[in-house]
Amino acid sequence: MNIGLVTRLWIWQRISGAFLGLFVLVHLMTIIHAIQGGLSASEILGRTQGNVAWLMFYGSFVLASAVHAPIGMRNVLGEMLGWRGRSLDWAMAAFAVALIVLGARATWGVYA
């Protein structure tokens, strides 16, 4: 069975979106818990630094975002600007790499 690029992208966007829903829920619950506990930013960082579980959680969050966002942007740019073809694909690949690099830096900053 040979499925097209658009179908594969649709599937990947739905999978990443499902994970993002879970990640956002956990992230918001964590923020609410921290705020209600009266924790400062330095106290929060003190709890996250060196914690491999949070590193893995936010690393996965970054990866899901780096899959989800460029696919959505590809569709928006295609519809709004009529931009199609390989140049759009390469631009969105570069966007995904940028999201991974910047997200990894932020994640590592919370961990290290």
Q: Which string of DSSP letters, residue by residue, matches 26-80?
A: HHHHHHHHHHHTT--HHHHHHHHTT-HHHHHHHHHHHHHHHHHHHHHHHHHHHHH
Q: Tell me the three state secondary structure of residue 95.
A: helix
**Torsion sign across C-alpha atoms 105, 106, 111, 112:** positive
Domains and CATH numbers, the chain: 5-111 (1.20.1300)
> 47: which residues sit within 8 A by CB, 6+ positions away?
39
* pLDDT confidence tier of residue 1, bands split at 50, 70 and 90: low
Q: What is the pLDDT of residues 11-44, one digit of tens each?
A: 999 999 999 999 999 999 999 999 898 888 888 8
The answer for 85, left when phi > 0, alpha when psi is -120 to 50, beta otherwise, is left
43, HSE (Cβ side, Cα atoms, 13 Å): 8
pTM of the model: 0.89
In terms of pLDDT, which residue wins out, 68 or 42?
Answer: 68
Quote the DSSP letter at residue 18. Answer: H
